Copies of this chain bind each other. A is one copy, B any other.
Amino acid sequence: MQFKKSDLLKNFNITLDLAVEAHEMVRGEAGREVPGVVQDVQEYDFAKVTTITVTDQQGAQLVSKPIGNYVTIDAPQIRENNLQIHEEISKILADTITKLAKLTDNSTVLLVGLGNWNATPDALGPQVIKYSLVTRHIKEHTPVELHGNLRSVCALSPGVLGLTGIETAEIIKGVVDRVKPDLVIAIDALASASVERISTTIQIADTGISPGSGVGNQRLGLNQESMGVPVLAIGVPTVVNAGVIAHSALEKLLEQLQTSPTLYQIYKGLNQDAVANIINEVLAPFSGDLMVTPKEIDQLIEHTGKIIAGGLTQALHPAISKEEYATYLH
C-alpha cells in the first residue's frame, strides 16, 4: 500500500511513544521478525503483558527506540470502574517495576510527575505524585506503625515549559544532582496511534523517556545518559494525535476501494503528499498539535493515576501488606 502510517508520522513529526506500536509498525502486516528485537507475551486474567526487548543497535534503529526493555500491560478493563481488577493490574505493575528497577532496601527513589496539571489529558504525572507515599523526610509524616519499613521516596511535579520557562529535564537534573537518588521513576501521559489504547495500556520502560515523546512533548530526554542515574518511565496513552485519526479514516477507505480491481490506477494518482495535504487542510490551523481524547478523560486520569500510585507503593514499600496497600491508595 502506498499510504504508510510510518510516513504519516514522519510528516507530522509524530513519535510513537509505545514500543509495542513501533514494533508492530515495523513488523508490518506480514508480522515479520525484526532483527535485534525480541518480543515475549504473557497472559493474565485481566491483562496481556508484552515485553519487547531491544537487544542491539540495529533493533534500536529499526524501531526508533533505545536498547532496553519495554513492558506493556494491556488491560481494557482499566476503563471500567472495577476496583478488584484495578488492584490486579496494580499488582502486575508492581511486579514489573520490581523486576526492572533492581532496588535494594537502602535505595532512594525520586518520583517525577511529568506533564501539565492545568490540562486534564496531560495531568497524569502530577496526579500520580498526589497519590504517592513520600517518605524521604525522616518518615515523619508516615503512619506510626510502619516506621522503619519504608523505602526512601521523594517526589516532584516539575510543571511544563510554558508554566516555568525552564526545560523540565533541567529542573529534574538539578534536583537529581542534589538528592542523588538511586533511581528516577518518571510518570507521563503518552500519545498512542490507536484510540483503543487510551487508558487501557501501561508501558514501563527501563530506558527512560526520549526527547519529543509524551503528550506535552518533552524537548530533552530523561534517561540514564542525561540524569546520571537509571530512569524508569511509566506511561499511559491518554490521547491520539488527531492526524492519526484522520489518516486512519483515509487508510480504511482506501483499503475498501482497493478491493475493487478497477481502482489500481487511482492509487497511482494519489501520492502521500496529497494525503498529507488533505489531513493538513482538515486540521488547520492547529495541524500537529490537535489531540483526540475521550470526554470522560478526567475520570480515566483519576483511575489510572490510582492504579499507578498503587503499583508504585507496592513495589517501593513491599513491607506494606496487601490490605494496607488498599488503604494507602486513599
Contact = CB atoms under 8 A, between A and B. Distances in A.
Interface of A: 76, 80-84, 86-87, 116, 118-122, 134-137, 141-145, 152-157, 159, 161-167, 170-171, 173-179, 195-196, 198, 215-216, 242, 245-250, 252-254, 256-257, 260, 262-263, 265-266, 269-270, 274-275, 278-279, 281-286, 289-299, 306, 323-324, 326-330
Q: Which DSSP category, helix, strand, loop or mixed, fits chain A's interface?
A: helix
B179 A177 contact: no
Given A136-B165, A179-B170, A250-B249, A141 B295 contact: no
Contacts of A292: 242, 245, 290-292
A171 B163 contact: no
Given A292-B290, A327-B326, A162 B137 contact: yes
A164 B153 CA distance: 9
Given A137-B162, A174-B178, A252 B120 contact: no
30 contacts: A81-B143, A83-B143, A84-B327, A119-B296, A134-B164, A135-B165, A137-B161, A137-B167, A141-B299, A157-B159, A162-B299, A166-B178, A170-B178, A171-B178, A175-B175, A177-B177, A195-B286, A198-B286, A245-B245, A246-B249, A249-B282, A250-B253, A253-B254, A262-B265, A266-B266, A290-B292, A291-B294, A306-B330, A323-B326, A329-B330
A82 B329 contact: no
Copies in the complex: 4
A136 B100 CA distance: 37
Contact of A297 (B119, B177, B242, B262): B119
Contacts of A326: 323, 326-327, 330
B282 A252 contact: yes
Nearest to A86: B327
B179 A162 contact: no
A2 to B, nearest CB: 13
Contact of A155 (B121, B165, B278, B298): B165
Contacts of A323: 323, 326
A278 B265 CA distance: 22
Contacts of A329: 327, 330
Contacts of A270: 256-257
Contacts of A76: 285
A295 B289 contact: yes
Nearest to A152: B165
